[in-house]
Protein backbone atom coordinates (compact mmCIF):
# COMPACT_ATOMS: atom_id res chain seq x y z
CA UNK A 1 0.00 0.00 0.00
CA UNK A 2 1.19 3.50 -0.76
CA UNK A 3 0.03 6.47 1.27
CA UNK A 4 1.04 10.13 1.06
CA UNK A 5 2.05 12.53 3.80
CA UNK A 6 1.90 16.12 2.52
CA UNK A 7 3.49 19.23 3.94
CA UNK A 8 2.22 22.42 2.29
CA UNK A 9 3.58 25.96 2.28
CA UNK A 10 6.34 25.53 4.81
CA UNK A 11 7.63 29.12 4.80
CA UNK A 12 11.12 30.42 5.38
CA UNK A 13 12.88 33.75 5.14
CA UNK A 14 16.23 32.74 3.70
CA UNK A 15 19.17 34.02 1.67
CA UNK A 16 19.25 31.97 -1.53
CA UNK A 17 19.66 33.39 -5.02
CA UNK A 18 22.01 33.86 -7.94
CA UNK A 19 22.36 37.59 -7.35
CA UNK A 20 24.56 38.94 -4.55
CA UNK A 21 21.73 41.20 -3.37
CA UNK A 22 19.40 38.22 -2.91
CA UNK A 23 21.94 36.48 -0.71
CA UNK A 24 22.35 39.66 1.35
CA UNK A 25 18.74 40.91 1.62
CA UNK A 26 16.99 37.53 1.58
CA UNK A 27 13.46 36.68 0.64
CA UNK A 28 10.46 34.45 1.23
CA UNK A 29 10.69 30.81 0.23
CA UNK A 30 8.06 28.10 0.52
CA UNK A 31 8.34 24.34 0.26
CA UNK A 32 5.83 21.58 -0.41
CA UNK A 33 6.76 17.97 0.22
CA UNK A 34 4.84 14.85 -0.81
CA UNK A 35 6.16 11.76 0.94
CA UNK A 36 4.99 8.46 -0.55
CA UNK A 37 5.21 5.74 2.08
CA UNK A 38 3.19 2.98 3.68
CA UNK A 39 1.66 4.16 6.94
CA UNK A 40 -1.09 1.53 7.06
CA UNK A 41 0.40 -0.25 10.10
CA UNK A 42 0.83 3.07 11.94
CA UNK A 43 -2.78 3.97 11.16
CA UNK A 44 -4.03 0.58 12.31
CA UNK A 45 -2.13 0.77 15.61
CA UNK A 46 -2.36 4.58 15.95
CA UNK A 47 1.40 4.64 16.62
CA UNK A 48 3.60 7.58 15.60
CA UNK A 49 6.73 5.41 15.79
CA UNK A 50 5.46 3.36 12.82
CA UNK A 51 5.21 6.28 10.41
CA UNK A 52 7.23 9.28 9.28
CA UNK A 53 6.73 12.07 11.82
CA UNK A 54 5.90 15.20 9.81
CA UNK A 55 6.86 17.41 12.77
CA UNK A 56 10.39 15.98 12.57
CA UNK A 57 10.37 16.31 8.76
CA UNK A 58 9.49 20.00 9.04
CA UNK A 59 12.26 20.62 11.58
CA UNK A 60 14.75 18.80 9.31
CA UNK A 61 13.71 20.85 6.25
CA UNK A 62 14.03 24.04 8.32
CA UNK A 63 17.56 23.05 9.31
CA UNK A 64 18.50 22.27 5.69
CA UNK A 65 17.12 25.58 4.36
CA UNK A 66 19.35 27.57 6.72
CA UNK A 67 22.51 25.42 6.65
CA UNK A 68 23.84 26.79 3.39
CA UNK A 69 23.09 29.49 0.82
CA UNK A 70 22.17 28.20 -2.63
CA UNK A 71 22.30 30.05 -5.92
CA UNK A 72 19.47 27.94 -7.37
CA UNK A 73 16.14 26.83 -5.94
CA UNK A 74 16.67 23.75 -8.11
CA UNK A 75 19.70 22.87 -5.97
CA UNK A 76 17.81 23.51 -2.75
CA UNK A 77 14.86 21.32 -3.82
CA UNK A 78 17.20 18.51 -4.92
CA UNK A 79 19.16 18.63 -1.68
CA UNK A 80 15.97 18.51 0.42
CA UNK A 81 14.68 15.49 -1.54
CA UNK A 82 18.02 13.66 -1.30
CA UNK A 83 18.50 14.30 2.41
CA UNK A 84 14.94 13.30 3.33
CA UNK A 85 15.29 10.04 1.39
CA UNK A 86 18.57 9.33 3.20
CA UNK A 87 17.13 10.11 6.63
CA UNK A 88 13.85 8.20 6.19
CA UNK A 89 14.28 4.80 4.51
CA UNK A 90 10.48 4.32 4.55
CA UNK A 91 10.10 6.90 1.77
CA UNK A 92 9.26 5.13 -1.50
CA UNK A 93 8.95 8.31 -3.54
CA UNK A 94 9.20 12.01 -2.79
CA UNK A 95 8.19 15.21 -4.53
CA UNK A 96 9.69 18.50 -3.31
CA UNK A 97 8.65 21.90 -4.61
CA UNK A 98 10.50 25.06 -3.61
CA UNK A 99 8.97 28.46 -4.39
CA UNK A 100 10.72 31.78 -4.37
CA UNK A 101 8.75 35.02 -4.10
CA UNK A 102 9.88 38.50 -5.15
CA UNK A 103 12.05 37.19 -7.96
CA UNK A 104 14.04 39.92 -9.76
CA UNK A 105 12.99 39.12 -13.35
CA UNK A 106 12.11 42.61 -14.53
CA UNK A 107 8.39 41.88 -14.49
CA UNK A 108 5.49 40.96 -12.25
CA UNK A 109 4.90 37.38 -11.10
CA UNK A 110 3.78 35.60 -7.96
CA UNK A 111 6.72 33.22 -7.64
CA UNK A 112 9.06 30.84 -9.39
CA UNK A 113 8.98 27.16 -8.44
CA UNK A 114 11.28 24.18 -8.96
CA UNK A 115 10.10 20.61 -8.43
CA UNK A 116 12.12 17.45 -7.87
CA UNK A 117 10.57 13.99 -7.92
CA UNK A 118 12.67 11.02 -6.81
CA UNK A 119 11.90 7.36 -6.30
CA UNK A 120 13.72 5.10 -3.88
CA UNK A 121 16.48 3.30 -5.76
CA UNK A 122 16.67 5.92 -8.51
Q: Each residue of 77-99: pLDDT tens digit? A: 999 999 999 999 999 999 999 99
- Out of 45, 93, 100, 118, the active site residue is 100
CATH number reported for the structural domain that contains residue 107 in this entry = 3.30.1130.10
Nearest to 58 by CA among 108, 121, 3, 8: 8
Q: What is the pTM of this model?
A: 0.92
Q: What is the pLDDT of residues 5-46, one digit of tens each?
A: 999 999 999 988 888 887 888 889 999 999 999 999 999 999
Per the structure, how many domains does the chain have? 1
Instruction: Supply the range of the domain harboring residue 92.
Output: 3-119
Number of Cβ within a 10 Å radius of residue 10: 16
Distance between CA atoms of residues 114 and 112, nearest Å: 7
What SS3 state is found at 55?
helix
Task: Give catalytic status of residue 100 as yes or no.
Answer: yes
What's 16's DSSP letter? -
Amino acid sequence: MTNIIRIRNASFYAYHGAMKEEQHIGGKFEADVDIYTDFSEAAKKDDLKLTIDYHEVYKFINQLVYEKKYFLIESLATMIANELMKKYPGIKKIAVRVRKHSVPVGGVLDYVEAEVVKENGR
